[in-house]
Amino acid sequence: MATNIKPLHDRVIVKRIEEGEQVRGGIIIPDTAKEKPQEGEVIAVGEGKRKDDGTRIGLDVKAGDRVLFGKYSGSEIKLDGEEYLIMREDEILGVIERAGAASGGKKGGK
């Protein structure tokens, strides 16, 4: 897996989630919508950018997050026979929240 590489600064390593896996997660991307944002899982994250005073600005995403990114985002890399994308955090369009967590917070207490 991508444990052999650590991204630098504000870069993240993402593994694409194929169409079959997207159906399991409740998101279906039809063939006609291939140019729309893609979905993946964050495998590893860098430590963040350094500010002028030397402190780091941490990333908003973490390993295990499911994210959306544009079709042409990042650079494709191959590690141990697996294909991944390495991209800057600002190329990530959003983090997909778990369905169970999202439905529980809407109605409030009983």
What's the confidence (pLDDT) of residue 100? 59
Please report whether residue 106 resides in a domain.
Answer: no
Q: Which domain holds residue 74?
A: 2-100
Quote the pLDDT of residue 103.
46
| Nearest CA among 59, 56, 22, 54 for reference residue 41 | 22
Please write down the HEC assignment for all residues of the chain: CHHHCCCCCCEEEEEECCHHHHHHCCCCCCHHHCCCCEEEEEEEECCCEECCCCCEECCCCCCCCEEEECCCCCEEEEECCEEEEEEEHHHEEEEECCHHHHHHHHCCCC
Establish if 79 belongs to a structural domain. Answer: yes
- Residue 52: which CATH number? 2.30.33.40
- Across the chain, which has 110 residues, the per-10-residue mean pLDDT values are 76 83 56 65 93 92 94 89 92 84 49
Q: What is the pTM of this model?
A: 0.70
The pLDDT of residue 57: 92
Q: Across-strand partners of 15? A: 41
Q: Count structural domains, the chain.
A: 1
Task: Give every CB contact of residue 41 below 8 A, 6+ residues apart in sequence.
Answer: 14, 15, 17, 64, 65, 66, 67
25 falls within a domain: yes
Within-domain flag for 90: yes
| Domain-embedded: residue 107 | no
Q: Return the pLDDT at 38.
A: 86
